[in-house]
Amino acid sequence: MDNLKAVILKIINFLVEVDSGAYFEQTNYLNDLLALIEEKNYDLVYSKLNSIEMWGGAGSIWESEYGMSKDQRDFFEDLLLILLNELTLRSKMSNSSEGVRKILLKFKGQRNSNGGALK
């Protein structure tokens, strides 16, 4: 659980650094996850990590990258992949979060094969 907590903290710190006002709701949601981890309420942690608030449409955590610079997006996507990999290691990934993971891996593969730029 320490790795999960660490990556959530990195995502919060990154969003605050980029623009704390723009990502207020997302950082609050992630802070709530940290509180649940501290309370050892792991079932709810995994439920929230697989929720629409994390991986759904506009306003979800993973959609926060819109409006970021390319370098910020790349870094943010890498953080999200670490988070998704933590879910995979724990066999706690839902279909929606697995779908996002596949999209992010595809983006990362395209960046790597195209000198850092998406096709």
pLDDT, one tens digit for every residue, the chain (119 residues): 888 999 999 999 999 999 878 899 999 999 999 999 999 999 999 999 988 898 887 788 988 888 899 999 999 999 999 998 888 877 777 777 888 888 888 878 877 776 555 44
Give the CA radius of gyration of the chain. 14
Angle 60-66-72 from CA coordinates, rounded to 5° = 110
Question: pTM of the full predicted structure?
Answer: 0.81
